Structure 1
Amino acid sequence: MSQGTVEGERIALHDHAGESAVEHGLRHGHVEDETLESDTATQLESRWKRTSVLVGSAVLQLPIWGFAMSYGVFQEYYFTNWTLQGSRDLTGIIGTTANGVTYLSMPFLFALFTRRLAHRRQTAAMCGALLTALSFLLSSLSTHVWHLVATQGVMAAFGSALMYSPTTLSLGEWYSTSNRALAYGVTLSCKNIVGSASPFLLRVLLDRYGFRMALRVLTAIVAVTSIPAVFLIPTHPSSVSPNAFRTRKIPWEFLKHRTFYVYSVAIILQSSGYGIPQTYLNTYASEVTMLSQTSATLLLTLFNIPGIMSSSFFGYLSDNKRYPMSATTVTAISAVSSALSAFLFWGLTSPGSMALLVLFSVTFGFFAGGYSATWGGVINEMASEAVKHNEAIDTGMVYGLLNGARGIGYVVGGLAGVPLLSAGSNGAIGNFGYGTTYGPLIIFTGLSSVFGGWGLLWKWKRLV
């Protein structure tokens, strides 16, 4: 073979290699473009699902909390239009019992749907919606006071918890990497929108049609709003994958740390007082300040409206990166401010005067209504503590247990309310709120609220 022939073959091979390299580069670039397009599509799909979950969670606040946050309207109606058998005084425990059953069910439901039955979350939420609707329908047929307690205070409350727990777990998972506290805050703001609008809606229904037809309309509202909302909240893929089902278990290491118990006690104390105004503010306005039914309903609305802003506000404080604040500081701001509102505004309200009662509703509603939005910061703090100790933590389970602590507080407040009201009726003196039959309730509300921020004192003692 001649030298020229060899050189020609080398040139041909070189040219072929060059062409192959170019073709490879074009193909590689095409693969990169496809990968980029796939990543973009995945991000858009994830963003849409996150938005869908947030919207669904927001809409669900109506069927879950509409009745519980507006029960004071029913309480006042029952007192002035009592037609059932049994003592009407027992209706005072329905509102706090409903909140207590709802929150006390959450730790068990959160544990159940965190891993083992994660793939059944939407089914469970749908069952909760149907149970809640059925409970209000049965309640409209009540003939004895215990029927109201069973249907409104227990059945409807458990149905609400069955809607809330699995859907809130999904919300926390879809927002697990960023803005978790803010997502909780936005959802809680929608809860307060519901609490602001529902009293007037229920008041109109009660005045025009009576409590039986009002409850039937409420049945329809629950069914129409809850069913579509549940479908908007898919379970996060990480919780339904075969590997997650087989290998992942709920880590309980956080129970070994004092931080969890400090915040749990604070939540119990704050919640025991928070439910008091929700239950008795309407009757206080009618009996003590002699306000009309419309004005009394307006107070309950003013109580809930500030929570629309405060939930997002306290959620932002808990997630704020520019001016970071500890969870204990944020909870203390909410707790101390709401306590001052109870002591200075509700306690000093004089019979026949509405100004201070309005001021109490707005300020207490803002600071106490935003307290649960601080839990995002609490969970973030506990997650950081788990990282420091090289431990795993399931934030959804922690959130469920914090809700359970809130339920204990509601039950304590409900059980304490009746004897405190009786004590006030036996020794009421003076012209201010402290001197009325509601005086002990006012003091209890203020004291329990301020102790809701005792975590700051605990941290200060550790630093000293």
Structure 2
Amino acid sequence: MAGLESISLRESVRSDVGARNPPHDPERATPSVDDAQPARQLEMGRKRVCVLVGSAILQLPIWGFAMSYGVLQEYYSGNWTLDGSQDVTGVIGTTSSGVMYLSMPFLFALFTRRWARWRQAAALFGIFLTCISFLVSSFSTHVWHLVATQGVLAALGCALIYSPTTLSLGEWFHTGNRAVAYGIVLSCKNIVGSACPFLLRVLLDRYGFRTALRVWTALAAGTSILAVVFLVPTPPTSLLPPPPASEGSAHRARRIPWHFLKHRTFYTYSVAIVFQSSGYGIPQTYLNTYAHEVALLSQTSATLLLTLFNIPGIVSSSFFGYLSDNKRFPLSATAVTSISAVSSALSALLLWGLTSQGSMALLVLFSVTFGFFAGGYSATWGGVINELEREAARCNEAIDTGMLYGLLNGARGIGYVSGGLAGVPLLKAGALAGSVGTPFGYGTSYGPLIVFTGLSSVLGSALLWRWDRLLHWSKLPSVFFIL
């Protein structure tokens, strides 16, 4: 199926080994090749572990700020010292995530094939851009400075770190357990999201946001350099572009296959991801402020909610990754995404929407359940890629899973940006409408945000966009009636 068009590091390592040990060398005896096989497998296993550990560590500098931005948002509400409208800060967190995800399709396309040799250099430049952006943001005097440095430039730097290293992760685990590997790394991402809110809260309370951002810069630099330089291996030479003399056939062989764009399955999951992501970023940004202003909880309790929002994702990412790769009780990618999306929608509409002043227990329950089901949604993409691979095999087509994963991240970026842009006017609309006579969250200025979160989450179910399956299932009641 993949032939010459689909390239993985597994294949590249095999080619690299073949370059060092030519298979047609008449002077090389077969027993020596057999003796070298365990050593090669051990080396490949060691590199897989290094890639997995390095990718796990990188979740801190890449996602720690975006997943903990709600703490900064709540801090700004009571310690505003910058010029400009404070409401604009509500778009920084979602813009940061959106810019990262939106840039990934382009970066994955570049580093999958033609610029494979520059992966480590690009990641190092991303570290430099990220750290400089956070450092410069600590000197901000106007709100647009924060938007430009934290929301755009730092996000681009994080994307430059994420894309090359994630390509390595997917390629080294190409032969199996890819969804599980993605799930483990996403679990580490949620560990970061659980610990960083308290870290930022301590830094903000003791030193203010300027010094806190400088400490974060140092932390991001140390962890990212450690992972990129010492843990994530550079691509083998066989991944590098062909020399000019062989540009003809070799270049055509390395061209990215776009056959999957002809199939409806790709667009089905992309649309679902856009809707789910547009609602997922709302609680991350506004839950802290809601808990402090509406539920009248302390700053510590509000920070605890954001931590509880991320902790369940540690388990759920691995859980949904396992469901996607499960061989004993196989579930389709449509079913797994629907479990995540519908359950998180019910959590938002029935738990967050029914909270009131002092309802700490209900907000904790919402944070845990929404964080579990919505936080594991990205881990279902391994199953989505597996389904698209099977579809390509049936059609005898090539498919590049690295590029595909980048496009799914791009769809998530569209959702994040859309949700962030919609959040500010929805909050203003709720404030203008005032109380609607209900003591619950729906009657506050956050009511439109709660409804938006629930509806966009339920639309993240891929089942709603699989018309053929819905029509098939709609016939089941009549069949049961006849029986």
Instruction: State yes or no: 1:257 paired with 2:263.
Output: yes
Instruction: State yes or no: 1:371 paired with 2:374.
Output: no
Question: Which position in structure 1 is the counterpart of 2:20?
Answer: none
**Counterpart selection for 1:398 from 396, 400, 404:** 404
In the TM superposition, what are the counterparts of 1:140-179 in structure 2 within 5 Å?
140-179=138-177
Residues 371-429 of structure 1: per-residue CA shift (max 9 Å, x gap)? 00000000000000000000000000000000000000001101110111111112232
Tell me, which stretches of 5 or more residues in structure 1 are unaligned?
1-29
Instruction: State yes or no: 1:301 paired with 2:307.
Output: yes
**Counterpart selection for 1:283 from 276, 289, 306:** 289
Instruction: State yes or no: 1:42 paired with 2:51.
Output: no
Taking the aligned partners of 1:114 and 1:257, their CA distance within structure 2 comes to 22
Question: Which position in structure 1 is the counterpart of 2:113?
Answer: 115
In the TM superposition, what are the counterparts of 1:32-111 in structure 2 within 5 Å?
33-111=31-109
In the TM superposition, what are the counterparts of 1:53-452 in structure 2 within 5 Å?
53-231=51-229, 232-237=231-236, 239-240=239-240, 242=242, 247-427=253-433, 428-429=435-436, 430-452=438-460
Taking the aligned partners of 1:453 and 1:220, their CA distance within structure 2 comes to 40
1:457 Cα deviation (Å)? 5.4
Q: TM-score, normalised by structure 2?
A: 0.88
Tell me, which stretches of 5 or more residues in structure 2 are unaligned?
1-27, 474-483
1:89 Cα deviation (Å)? 0.8
Taking the aligned partners of 2:268 and 2:342, their CA distance within structure 1 comes to 16
Taking the aligned partners of 2:208 and 2:114, their CA distance within structure 1 comes to 44
1:334 Cα deviation (Å)? 0.1
> Identity, % of aligned pairs?
74
Taking the aligned partners of 2:300 and 2:362, their CA distance within structure 1 comes to 17
Residues 300-358 of structure 1: per-residue CA shift (max 9 Å, x gap)? 00000000000000000000111110000000000000000001110010112111100
Contact 2:187 2:313 in 1 (8 A): yes
Q: Secondary structure of the equivalent of 1:305?
A: helix
Q: Secondary structure of the equivalent of 1:67?
A: helix
Contact 1:115 1:245 in 2 (8 A): no
Taking the aligned partners of 1:462 and 1:239, their CA distance within structure 2 comes to 45
Contact 1:124 1:162 in 2 (8 A): yes
Contact 1:328 1:456 in 2 (8 A): no
Residues 282-305 of structure 1: per-residue CA shift (max 9 Å, x gap)? 000000110100000000000000
Whose Rg is larger?
1
Contact 1:197 1:301 in 2 (8 A): yes
Residues 41-73 of structure 1: per-residue CA shift (max 9 Å, x gap)? 000000000000000000000000000000000
Contact 1:64 1:163 in 2 (8 A): yes
Taking the aligned partners of 1:133 and 1:461, their CA distance within structure 2 comes to 48
Question: 1:205/1:133 Cα in 2 relative to 1: closer, same or farther (>3 Å)?
Answer: same
Q: TM-score, normalised by structure 1?
A: 0.92
Taking the aligned partners of 1:246 and 1:222, their CA distance within structure 2 comes to 39
Taking the aligned partners of 1:225 and 1:454, their CA distance within structure 2 comes to 36
Question: Which position in structure 1 is the counterpart of 2:470?
Answer: 461
Question: 1:226/1:246 Cα in 2 relative to 1: closer, same or farther (>3 Å)?
Answer: farther
Taking the aligned partners of 1:246 and 1:356, their CA distance within structure 2 comes to 58
Taking the aligned partners of 1:144 and 1:214, their CA distance within structure 2 comes to 18
Taking the aligned partners of 1:89 and 1:426, their CA distance within structure 2 comes to 15
Contact 1:174 1:236 in 2 (8 A): no
Taking the aligned partners of 1:275 and 1:320, their CA distance within structure 2 comes to 29
Q: Secondary structure of the equivalent of 1:384?
A: helix
1:454 Cα deviation (Å)? 3.5
2:440 corresponds to which letter in structure 1?
Answer: F
Q: Secondary structure of the equivalent of 1:431?
A: coil
1:240 Cα deviation (Å)? 3.0
Taking the aligned partners of 2:431 and 2:80, their CA distance within structure 1 comes to 21
1:355 corresponds to which letter in structure 2?
Answer: A
Taking the aligned partners of 1:155 and 1:322, their CA distance within structure 2 comes to 45
1:132 corresponds to which letter in structure 2?
Answer: T
Taking the aligned partners of 1:192 and 1:266, their CA distance within structure 2 comes to 22
Q: Secondary structure of the equivalent of 2:338?
A: helix
Contact 1:173 1:236 in 2 (8 A): no
Question: Which position in structure 2 is the counterpart of 1:24?
Answer: none
Taking the aligned partners of 1:35 and 1:126, their CA distance within structure 2 comes to 37
Q: Secondary structure of the equivalent of 2:58?
A: helix
Taking the aligned partners of 2:161 and 2:302, their CA distance within structure 1 comes to 30
Contact 2:57 2:227 in 1 (8 A): yes
Q: Secondary structure of the equivalent of 1:420?
A: helix
Q: Secondary structure of the equivalent of 1:317?
A: helix
1:337 corresponds to which letter in structure 2?
Answer: S
1:233 corresponds to which letter in structure 2?
Answer: V
Taking the aligned partners of 1:248 and 1:328, their CA distance within structure 2 comes to 31
Taking the aligned partners of 2:472 and 2:269, their CA distance within structure 1 comes to 17
Question: 1:462/1:234 Cα in 2 relative to 1: closer, same or farther (>3 Å)?
Answer: farther
1:426 corresponds to which letter in structure 2?
Answer: L
Question: Which position in structure 1 is the counterpart of 2:19?
Answer: none
1:456 Cα deviation (Å)? 5.4
